[in-house]
Chains A and B, each alone.
Chain A
Amino acid sequence: MAKSENRGEEYEAEHVHSVYEQIAFHFSSTRYKPWPIVERFLQELPDGSVCVDVGCGNGKYLAVNPRVFIVGSDRSTNLVKIATRHEPHACVVADNLSLPHPPRSFDFAISIAVIHHLSTPSRRIEAVRAVLELLKPPSSAANLSGGKALIYVWALEQKDSRRGWDEGHEQDVMVPWVMKSNEKAKKEKAQKKGKEEDQSLEQEETASSDHPDSKTFLRYYHLYRKGELEHDVGEAGGEVLESGYEKDNWWVIATVKGS
């Protein structure tokens, strides 16, 4: 683990972006079932809403609601190529700190399992701000509430998970992704498992790393402790409307503070 002063953009390029680009297709074959909170949020959007999905990965959340228009973005070209299949939505390659969207113009935003990959406190707050500034601001004159964002990050408190992290553990961790060379067999197996699939974030990593044909990639994560996400939203100029814990993750629904 790099010392905190050595973390930042270049560190993430090596320990996050490059890894996802290499594991994209394998990663995608294991990511198809939406998390309940995210699915509910998307299903409840009014028809015709315009949304962004910042860090959309393989686009699994683009498949949930075809009655809205979602513009997804991801740092990995390989993942965007997969995500772009979901009609009627759209997807582009972009960095979540330099998003190519007109500010203050979207009804909703989601950023799921993304902001925990930023490697310094200020970059994480900046990433929250980048999501919030895309939202329509509230208008007291027109009596309209502003746009809403759902943000979801990995929790430090997950003592019942396979990894067993909990309060007091180091929050900046490297998490292995094990990829066997026999991609195809694995993909088929993952698809066959279908609905019984466990929803835990890292379920596919149970593969043994000492398998002769396997390759292990390490990704950087910042594990959020209780209350930390709400704090970051506040620092970024947002207001938390709802928050909670689901399947080893913390989540918030936030809006832009009225001026």
Chain B
Amino acid sequence: MKILTLNFLTCARKLCKSSNTAFPLHPKEADLEIVETEINVLFLKNIMGRLMWEELKGVVGELGLPDLPPTPPEPETLVETKLQAPEGDNTGLNIEKAEVPSQIAKDLHRVLLETCVKEGKLVCGNCGHEYAVREGIANFLLPGHLV
């Protein structure tokens, strides 16, 4: 389960829905893995404005990952312009400007989309219930008495 997902998950119990300590869930005994995927700068640009940044930073810190910037990076900082030859052109005579992912974008992609919780628990800060993550799949099914 990718770290980005934690920004859209909270406790499944009704009594925790209105509590502001239930979000975000806290990873515990988390075993992380990197699942490489192709970087999608447009996706990153678009999703930046939709994140609960403080909560995301908190989770990233709890997992011992490198700190996120203090505020969501501005979309224009996610790309940089590079001078390069067009693809397949090795003559060195034609140079054009190309937009490539910036280091900021690569770092964000690494943390939010490629870093995944493989095994571990997600703990509710309100009721203390622990949800298991196994083989990268988080399970939010509740035992009958907690529904």
Residues of A within 8 A of B (CB): 47-48, 50, 52, 66-67, 69, 71, 73, 75, 77, 80-81, 84, 87-88, 90-95, 97-103, 105-106
Contacts and interface: CB of A to CB of B under 8 A. Distances in A.
B4 A69 contact: yes
Given A48-B50, A90-B8, A102-B23, A95 B140 contact: yes
Given A88-B113, A90-B2, A100 B10 contact: yes
Nearest to B49: A48
Given A48-B49, A92-B5, A80 B137 contact: yes
A101 B16 CA distance: 11
A95 B142 contact: yes
Query: Which of A69, A80, A91 has the most C-beta atoms of chain B within 10 angstroms of its own C-beta?
Result: A69
Contact of B141 (A84, A94, A101): A94
A149 to B, nearest CB: 16
A102 B37 CA distance: 27
B12 A94 contact: yes
Nearest to B5: A90
Contacts of A75: 141
A226 to B, nearest CB: 33
A100 B137 contact: no
Contacts of B37: 87-88
B1 interface: yes
